[in-house]
């Protein structure tokens, strides 16, 4: 799929690419079906910004001040309105190789969706409840940045320990799941000991990406009491190649759902519309055919990206350039709005049918999972896709 309509002149995302004439990875943007190596364009900006455009990841560019980034984005939009420049420098997207956009420094996966918590508890325990801490602040855990990979990277079915009746067994995961998520990529860092106020959170967010936090449900379920996810999550996390800036998403700012209780002062929002209307969809890919699984929206989330920055730093923990703060599964109330198979299959108890008649509860070897995200017309993220391969030999 080309996703041409995701990449209008109103978007101008950032990514990292190489091709036959660019052996070294460098910063690119995309306009419709064309990719542009930014160092080749006659753009306005400081020497440090221009140097960042030749780097093999976006870290240096992400650390640039917001004022300079806004100037760069405006310059790119002006230059790419010139058809001569587009014709001369545009590379067909199928002729370039997209790489990891950032060298990820840290990874925190949060829980931002109230509906996900309700749906998951219903699936696992037969009743809809949310964790006691959830209404007070966004809960999260530290993940493994080492296993975050670019869209398209195969994901090997993990092995681990899980409950089998009254016994504990070791083997390949039997309940492999996906999680429909987004994440913000940190640009401006903070100092250890400092707290980033909510009103300044946007200054620290370089942009947003799609994220699939693959989940081994049996392994995860056994290890989560009392310490939380580890091997059930750390075997692989997929991200999309394009980082979409907050400036591109400004027209789609919205007010999030109301709070159930009064939140602490450091999470009291001062911005009228601190969230975004971004449609998220997931599809299961099998034997060349796609079955739609879910459609949800970022605007439904109880906690925002700004909240994640404030919560991550409230205790003095520093955030660094290229850190990834993820939302957790983004779900709604409807049966077609479940952002993972744990919810959709009631914990593996109810199967569903693919377009070719196959049955599934969880992902099988060879299955693919494709996530897409878009905000209105012309601003999208493309896709985040991964295919499951056989487990390693036991």
237 appears as a binding residue in the annotation: yes
What are the residues facing 161 on neighbouring strands?
170
Could you tell me if residue 229 is left (phi over 0), alpha (psi between -120 and 50 degrees) or otherwise beta?
A: beta
Q: Would the CA dihedral through 117, 123, 125, 128 be positive or negative?
A: positive
Q: What are phi and psi of 98, to 5 degrees?
A: -90, 140
Q: Are 42 and 79 in contact (CB under 8 A)?
A: yes
Place of tokens 């494709």: 370
233 appears as a binding residue in the annotation: yes
Q: Would the CA dihedral through 50, 76, 98, 230 be positive or negative?
A: positive
CA dihedral 213, 219, 220, 222 (to 10 degrees): 180
Kindly name the residue from 116, 136, 195, 338 that is annotated as catalytic.
Answer: 116
Place of tokens 């939380």: 228
109 appears as a binding residue in the annotation: yes
82 appears as a binding residue in the annotation: no
Q: Which two three-digit tokens encode residue 319?
A: 């955030």
| CA distances for 116 relative to 89, 123, 300, angstroms | 44, 10, 11
Q: Are 243 and 209 in contact (CB under 8 A)?
A: yes
Cα(251)–Cα(111) distance, integer angstroms: 25
DSSP 284: E
181 appears as a binding residue in the annotation: yes
Q: Is 116 a catalytic residue?
A: yes
213 appears as a binding residue in the annotation: yes
Of 40, 370, 44, 23, give the one whose Cα is nearest residue 210.
Answer: 370
Q: Which residues are annotated as a binding site for Mg(2+)?
A: 213, 233, 237
Q: Which residues are annotated as a binding site for substrate?
A: 220, 329
Q: Which residues are annotated as a binding site?
A: 109, 179, 181, 213, 220, 233, 237, 329
Active site residues: 116
């Amino acid at each position: 799929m080309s996703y041409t309509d995701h990449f209008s002149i109103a978007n101008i995302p950032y990514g990292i690419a190489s091709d036959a004439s660019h052996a070294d990875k460098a910063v690119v943007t995309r306009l419709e079906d064309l990719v542009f190596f930014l160092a080749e364009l006659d753009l306005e900006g400081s020497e440090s910004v221009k140097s960042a455009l030749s780097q093999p990841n976006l870290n240096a560019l992400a650390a640039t001040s917001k004022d300079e980034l806004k100037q760069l984005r405006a310059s790119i939009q002006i230059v790419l309105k010139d058809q001569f420049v587009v014709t001369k420098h545009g590379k067909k997207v199928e002729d370039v190789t997209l790489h990891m956009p950032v060298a990820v420094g840290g990874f925190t996966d949060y829980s931002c969706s109230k509906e996900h918590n309700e749906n998951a508890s219903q699936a696992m325990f037969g009743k809809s409840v949310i964790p006691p801490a959830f209404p007070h602040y966004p809960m999260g855990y530290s993940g493994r940045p080492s296993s975050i990979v670019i869209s398209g990277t195969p994901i090997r079915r993990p092995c681990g320990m899980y409950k089998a009746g009254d016994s504990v067994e070791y083997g390949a995961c039997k309940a492999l799941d996906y999680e429909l998520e987004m994440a913000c990529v940190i640009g401006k860092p903070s100092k250890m000991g400092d707290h980033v106020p909510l009103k300044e959170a946007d200054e620290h967010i370089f942009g947003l990406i799609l994220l699939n936090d693959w989940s081994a449900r049996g392994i995860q379920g056994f290890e989560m009491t009392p310490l939380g996810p580890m091997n059930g999550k750390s075997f692989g996390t997929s991200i999309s190649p394009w980082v979409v800036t907050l400036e591109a998403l400004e027209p789609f700012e919205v007010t999030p759902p109301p709070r159930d209780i009064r939140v602490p002062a450091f999470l009291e929002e001062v911005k009228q519309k601190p969230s975004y209307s971004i449609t998220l969809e997931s599809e299961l890919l099998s034997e060349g055919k796609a079955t739609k699984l879910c459609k949800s929206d970022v605007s439904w989330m109880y906690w925002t990206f700004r909240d994640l920055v404030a919560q991550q730093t409230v205790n003095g923990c520093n955030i660094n350039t290229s850190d990834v703060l993820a939302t957790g599964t983004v779900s709604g109330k409807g049966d077609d709005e479940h952002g993972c198979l744990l919810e959709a299959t009631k914990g593996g108890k109810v199967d569903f049918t693919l377009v070719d008649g196959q049955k599934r509860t969880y992902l099988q070897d060879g299955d693919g999972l494709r996530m897409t995200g878009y905000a209105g017309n012309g601003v999208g993220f493309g896709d985040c896709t991964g295919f499951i391969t056989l487990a390693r030999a036991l």
